Amino acid sequence: MRLLKVATCSLNQWAMDFDCNANLIKESIAKAKEAGASVRLGPELEIPGYGCEDHFLELDTVNHSWECLKDLLLGDWTDGILCSFGMPVIIGQERYNCQVFCLNRKIIMIRPKLCLANDGNYRELRWFTAWKRRDQLVDFQLPLEISQALGQKSVPFGYGFMKFQDTAIAAEVCEELYTSDPPHSELALNGVEVIMNASGSHHQLRKLDYRVHALIGATHTRGGVYMYSNQQGCDGSRLYYDGCACVVVNGDVVAQGSQFSLKDVEVVVAQIDLDVVVSLRGSLSSFQEQASYKTKVPSVEVPYSLCLPFNLKICLSLPLKIKYHTPEEEIAFGPGCWLWDYLRRSGASGFLLPLSGGADSSSVAAIVGCMCQLVVKEIANGDEQVKADAIRIGNYKDGQYPIDSREFAKRIFYTVFMGSENSSEMTKSRAKVLADEIGSWHLDVSIDVVVSAFLSLFQTLTGKRPQYKVDGGSNIENLSLQNIQARIRMVLAFMLASLLPWVHGKPGFYLVLGSSNVDEGLRGYLTKYDCSSADINPIGSISKQDLRAFLRWAAIHLGYPSLKDIEAAPPTAELEPQRSDYSQLDEVDMGMTYEELSVYGRLRKIFRCGPVSMFQNLCYRWGAKLTPSQVAEKVKYFFKYYSINRHKMTVLTPSYHAESYSPEDNRFDLRQFLYNARWPYQFRKIDELVSELDVKDVKDYAANDTMAATSHGVSGMGVAAAGSGNPKAGF
């Protein structure tokens, strides 16, 4: 037996904070060594942090990464353990995203990334070049300062693997796992037994299953050990990296880390018998045949042994049941952990949320409540870093620290109900009850006097005073009156966030939280610079459908029972006067349901549908209940309002990324914001298709009736004439 103990890590790195990142790397190595591991894998670009973006174009970022690597190598951190470190490296004129393999204070080889992530949230081709010379390793001259410090002039650079005395190990970097021709297939045929994947993969609802299945598939049919490491936490952007470091052996997950955690360092260890890899491969005839004529991959000889012999005192890691969170849990824990990282790293001392008592703002409040629960739980589990951050943010004195989530929320969370004459007592009451359940410092404010002052000023300037539509006003007047309320709430929210800590003798400032969901952003059903314009928004790319399911879950599992009533209430902005014969409802205002919006959003982004292909898809999807003309009207209506409101996405509050159909235009959904909202060419094509379908419907109807009439002895001519009076009767 060849027993190999491996350690893979999830690290909460912070882009461009080299001290923080180096310390967390050292802590992970110390934990790996303490566990007896002889291999340690860290996340992609762990030294500078994955989310540096255009900072990668700065030579300082590359130089500081080398300095941190030198510090790691001059100490005893790599003594007796193979370590993989992620950092940018420049060779010649090109900049590469690399894994640097180190052992016993020396660099063994540098492996550049072959396939760069360059879609969705990723722009790696903006900063790096993909390594294309897969047939050879080149000699890389180390920077002079590093060379002198290590006594090592050059190292092998390129695509290859390391041949130790007792096993062969190679790297596969993040995106390469998901390509159509992944390196792990070729490496396995070359005898590589251990693949180390350093990743920077963000959280997205329902995404983990896809990732884990890719890891399992990498070794299921060809054998091998697959180590997966990932960033974890908010490193300074809209993304939350969801960790879940794991080890897979021959298609079985034998070790899995947490997906959502407040820990800065999490090390997952597995003890493996490498002979099971040889045994499986030897039993696969097809593998043997393919290996006999494989393309040879370059290698580096390393005169060192990593494995231990057979020992009954060593327990092997066994297959385990994979842990998946439900989407409701993902909504609670992902944004909750992201908010904690943002709060502790921003210098703020808490959050302020305009709480309307509706589903969206209540979801945000529940997520903050969940964050407080996670903090208290982690402190109880002995996490000293979380404890220190909570003491600082909550302004605790005399050795006190959070032991109750409601008490902690009272220190770091303000909620404000900003009511007007259009607000109902029911929503006001719901906001108050939920705030009490969570423990926030809750305020109840009327904005009517400010609205009235604005209207009086406008009347003084123009001699006119706008009216709501229900009182005889025009659409322009009605919309303006709603916008006034929304924008006043934004101004008031930011003023309160700045001054309330001062009023209560607390240090710092509060971050304003937004609460618009992904469907409203897609449709543009939000006022530009309204109370959803905030510092950050934890639900900005979560659908209304998912949020409602989350509210039902949170009512029970987070202990906030009032959320059940909030979820059951019909969504309304409460910006217009309520009358006995009129009640403002979101879906009526939008002219479409939230369920329809989710369908439009997925077709537009995930399936890359323009108006015409969306119409064609929806004819299949909705054809049983809608005519082509009705489908066409719905598609045109959606694209009209999507187009005229697209400009709102340019100022959308930075939002936690959770949905693959997010319309957020800063990183994820890059499209223009000035459209011809009439879409003349596309809508004309839709009209032509509708006409063709209508004609075909008439012919099919006539043909079907002719066949039916003939079977009853009636002439086709007569039935066709009779049927032509209502050609859509069968639709």
From residue 120, give the alpha-carbon distance in Å to each of 197, 214, 601, 657: 21, 19, 15, 11
Concatenated DSSP letters of 431-463: HHHHHHHHT-EEEEEE-HHHHHHHHHHHHHHHS
Contacts 24+ apart (CB under 8 A), 243-248: 243/10, 244/10, 244/208, 244/211, 244/212, 245/8, 245/9, 245/10, 246/8, 246/212, 246/215, 247/6, 247/8, 247/272, 247/317, 248/215, 248/216, 248/218, 248/219
Among candidate residues 9, 33, 46, 113, the one labeled active-site is 113
307 among known catalytic residues:
no
Among candidate residues 10, 356, 420, 423, the one labeled active-site is 356
Q: What are phi and psi of 614, to 5 degrees?
A: -65, -45
Among candidate residues 5, 10, 33, 44, the one labeled active-site is 44
Alpha carbon distance 228, 8 (integer Å): 7
Q: What are phi and psi of 253, to 5 degrees?
A: -75, 120
Which DSSP helix (H) or strand (E) runs through 197?
A: strand 194-199
What are the DSSP E strand ranges found in 535-583? Answer: none
Among candidate residues 52, 68, 115, 174, the one labeled active-site is 174
Alpha carbon distance 137, 160 (integer Å): 7
44 among known catalytic residues:
yes
Alpha carbon distance 57, 66 (integer Å): 15
Phi-psi region of 61 (alpha: psi -120 to 50; beta: other; left: phi over 0): alpha
174 among known catalytic residues:
yes
Chain position carrying tokens 């000293």: 384
How far, in whole angstroms, is CA 321 from its chain's centroid?
24
> Hey, what amino acid is at 448?
D
Q: What are phi and psi of 5, to 5 degrees?
A: -100, 125
Q: How far apart are the first and last CA of the chain?
A: 70
Which DSSP helix (H) or strand (E) runs through 187?
A: helix 183-189
Radius of gyration (C-alpha) of the chain in whole angstroms: 30
Alpha carbon distance 499, 586 (integer Å): 33
Q: Mutual orientation of helices 18-34 and 59-74 as an angle, nearest 10°?
A: 30
> Hey, what amino acid is at 619?
C
619 among known catalytic residues:
no
Task: Check if the beta carbon of residue 100 is closer than 8 Å to that of residue 127.
Answer: no
> Hey, what amino acid is at 37?
A
Torsion over CA: 454, 457, 462, 467 (sign): positive
Residues with Cβ < 8 Å from 607, sequence gap 6 or more?
Answer: 613, 617
- Pick from 515, 467, 476, 512: nearest CA to 494: 512
What are the DSSP E strand ranges found in 420-544? Answer: 441-446, 511-512
Catalytic residue numbers read 44, 113, 174, 356
